[in-house]
Structure 1
């Protein structure tokens, strides 16, 4: 058994079990890749790949268990390199951030500005995606840190750090009927609703609130981006439900924000990274700035 054989298994998973593409990542031809898998299976004494003829469909139960150990070995290898870089006080490299559009626009600018001043030689790569895809980026080592609200708590392989709580608001044009009188979920449900796509920006709390009230959450338009929702509210398509911080009084003077914190439970945005991952000094600094930014301004930013 050697490290290249274990790497090949990781590349097989990444390439959806395309042996040729997995071999290319190791600079070997398909026949050589196939031979390496065969040697590993012979050493283990049982198949680790599910096959139909020459086509590979996935991992056997043994293969899945092997992959759990492969992930730990790969993480240990990465940790060793990061520890060595930290020991040399190496200030070059890259910080990969996986987050959502809302976080990128409203939370990250100031922490990134301060990070750039402290570590000017470290490149910053930001990937904006859905919470589910963000978690996958962490597990495939394509992101060092994730910042979002939904789904993180369900993954036991992550270290979760709470960042801040926030609430939703309804946004409507001026002179809209909802601006007069008390606002309630039943009244809100009588209008076409525009809000986030499932899995984004506290959608689960919106859904739970309507369900608890015995109301159907009938969404006319769903989007991942608050700006898109505001655009279609302006066009008269309905009432928007967005994160309170996404309402900007100067830019959104034509809209009115109505507090929904008494109707929809507050949500919590979190920071996450892989368990057992060594945190280099620059990543510790960045996490510290994220938390400091939240404490300084108490932003209510969703993901």
Structure 2
């Protein structure tokens, strides 16, 4: 048994069990990869892969159990390298942040600015994706930290920390009937609504609030991006419901912002990372900057 055999097995799910692609990732030919796995199965005395002819369908029960151990070995390898770099006070490296557009634009600029002052040698990679995909990026080691509001469910593998609490607001053009009226969910429900796509930026709390009152949501447009919603509110398509942090008085003075904190439950943006992953000094500092930014934010 050797690391090359175990690494091939680890890569198979990432390549949809395409042995040729897994072989490419470890710089060997497919025939050699096939032989590596065959020798491992012979050593263990039982198949690790379910096959139909030459096609690999997935893992056998033994293969699934072996994969759990391989994940631990891979994590240990990553931790050993990171610990060694940290021990040498290495101030270079890469920080991979998985987040949504809203957090990237409205939460992260100031923490990243402060982080860059402390660690100018660290390269920052920001991956914007859906909340569900953001967590998967952590598990696939394609992100060091995830930041989002939705889909951040408790997991024994994740360390999850609350970052900041916020509320939704309604936005309408100047002169709109709601601009000077007392806003209720019933009044909002009488207009076409523009808000976040399901799974984004507290959309679930919006749905819960209307459902609790027995009201139907007439969603004219859904988007992952607050700026897109604001654009179409300006075109007169309906009333926008966005994160309070997304309303910028300087840039959005043509829109009226209406606080909905008393109508829609507040949302919590959280950060997460893998519990068993060793956190280098620069990542711990970045987490501290995020948490400090959250504490210092107004209750938008």
TM-score of the superposed pair, with normalisation by structure 2: 0.96
User: In the alignment, which residue of structure 2 is the partner of 1:89?
Assistant: 89
Q: Is the 8 A contact 1:164 1:298 kept in 2?
A: no
> In structure 1, how many angstroms separate the alpha carbons of the residues matched to 2:94 and 2:278?
15
* 3-state SS, counterpart of residue 146 of structure 2: strand
* 3-state SS, counterpart of residue 78 of structure 1: helix
For structure 1, the 5+ residue unaligned runs are: none
Aligned 1:71-90 pairs, distance under 5 A: 71-90=71-90
Q: 1:299 to 1:285 in 2, by over 3 A?
A: farther
* 3-state SS, counterpart of residue 152 of structure 1: coil
User: In the alignment, which residue of structure 1 is the partner of 2:293?
Assistant: 293
User: In the alignment, which residue of structure 2 is the partner of 1:233?
Assistant: 233
Instruction: Describe the superposition over 1:163-203 as per-residue Cα deviations: whole angstroms up to 9, x where unpaired.
Output: 11000011111121222332111221111111111111011
Q: 1:59 to 1:298 in 2, by over 3 A?
A: farther
- The CA RMSD measured in Å over matched residues stands at 1.3
For structure 2, the 5+ residue unaligned runs are: none
User: In the alignment, which residue of structure 1 is the partner of 2:198?
Assistant: 198
* 3-state SS, counterpart of residue 153 of structure 1: coil
> In structure 1, how many angstroms separate the alpha carbons of the residues matched to 2:22 and 2:292?
42
> In structure 1, how many angstroms separate the alpha carbons of the residues matched to 2:81 and 2:237?
53
> In structure 1, how many angstroms separate the alpha carbons of the residues matched to 2:135 and 2:265?
24
Q: Is the 8 A contact 2:138 2:146 kept in 1?
A: yes
TM-score of the superposed pair, with normalisation by structure 1: 0.95
User: In the alignment, which residue of structure 2 is the partner of 1:244?
Assistant: 244
Aligned 1:47-126 pairs, distance under 5 A: 47-126=47-126
Q: Is the 8 A contact 2:157 2:276 kept in 1?
A: no
TM-superposed deviation, 1:246: 0.3
TM-superposed deviation, 1:256: 0.7
* 3-state SS, counterpart of residue 96 of structure 2: strand
